[in-house]
Amino acid sequence: MKIQNYPYEISIVVPLKSEEESLPELAQWIDRVCVEHNYSYELILIDDGSDDNSWEVIEQLSSSNPSVKGIRFRRNYGKSAALHVGFQAVRGRVVITMDADLQDSPDEIPDLYKMITEQKFDLVSGWKKKRHDPLMKTIPTKLFNWATRKMSGIYLHDFNCGLKAYRHDVVKSVEVMGEMHRYIPVIAKWNGFVKIGEKVVHHQARKYGSSKFGWNRFINGFLDLFTITFVSRFSKKPMHFFGALGTLMFAIGFLLALYMGIDKLFIHPDAEKIALRPVFYIALVTMVLGTQLFLTGFLAELLVRNSPASDNYQVSERKGDLPQA
């Protein structure tokens, strides 16, 4: 059954790396759930530079089931790149992402679909309330989620859950790069999709293979959090950040230098020379850094205003006889 202009009701995007053992079971599970609920669907498997026979398995699945499609990277680019390419390819009304290791349950698909289509959420994120992971993985994850909630203002329990559902417009509006797949809800909110929900989902123990993530993902995750926070707030007004910080630093340095000058001229004229005081060099460096930060903001503002994407604003609806942007 087709809905409006969408060829499929559901597009399922699965990034993967070296998951040849789990792919047949995952594809059969997804197909069973969609057939039971009479959903037309496409399953897009993105092979992110696997070093096993994952691509051969994808080819076999695609030849036996036309709903299964595959995209293969020449090398490993990361999960964000796989999702970005998958989002470009989807044609379903609702887009669902999940991992390929069978820890995400396809049985969650119907409820996620209804939350998007009936409850009108823009994005629904899974929450693995009961995790089957070791403490060395769950504790840093909780810390990461707490910091993300505080900095983004989006109160989700599990930003890093791979099981998410989106309206079609959301995935076509967000741009996922670097390691930003953890922050798709933040990017979506930044683009004006503010109805973000959460659903408790079943988390299964890994059945095949081993985890592809190490400790470096938590370090990268926090660095990316600062990046996305800065970009979301100041990408179109960098002078508000660099200019304000530069002005503050210059003012502090100038006031210190002014105080030392007044002290030398009027209060303690017999004191040691100003140039011999450590505070003088602190004031000087502070003024120089403040000037540099101010100029950085000024140059960044010029670049933003002359960028072709500076007026790239998201329009949700149009009515009447208006020219298209």
| pLDDT tens per residue across all 325 residues of the chain | 444 589 999 999 999 999 999 999 999 999 999 999 999 999 999 999 999 999 999 999 999 999 999 999 999 988 989 999 999 999 999 999 999 989 899 999 999 999 999 999 999 999 988 766 665 666 677 777 887 888 778 888 888 888 999 999 999 988 887 778 888 998 898 888 999 999 999 877 766 666 655 556 666 666 777 777 777 777 778 898 899 999 999 999 999 999 999 988 888 888 888 888 889 899 999 999 999 999 999 998 888 777 665 555 555 565 555 555 5
Q: Is 304 exposed, middle or buried (0-12, 13-18, 19+ CB in 10 A)?
A: middle
pLDDT at 264: 84
Q: Give the three-state DSSP class for 14.
A: strand
Output the pLDDT for position 231.
Answer: 73
Phi, psi of 96 (to 5 degrees): -120, 130
- 46 close to 86: Cβ distance less than 8 angstroms: yes
CA distances from 304 to 111, 244, 313 (A): 42, 17, 14
What's the confidence (pLDDT) of residue 230?
A: 77
Q: String of b and e for 155-167 (b: at least 16 CB within 10 Å)? A: ebbbbbbbbbbbb
The DSSP secondary-structure symbol of 272 reads P
- DSSP secondary structure code for residue 192 in this structure: T
Alpha helical stretches, state H, the chain = 23-36, 54-64, 79-89, 109-117, 135-152, 168-173, 184-190, 216-234, 239-262, 278-305
pLDDT at 3: 46
- 157, two tokens: 């329990």
Nearest by Cα to 201 from 164, 146, 239, 252: 164
- DSSP letter (8 states) at residue 205: P
Backbone angles phi, psi at 252, to 5 degrees: -60, -45
* Sequence-distant contacts of 304-310: CB under 8 A, at least 24 apart: 304/235, 304/236, 304/237, 304/238, 310/236
* Backbone region of residue 134 per phi and psi (left: phi > 0; alpha: psi in -120 to 50; beta: other values): beta
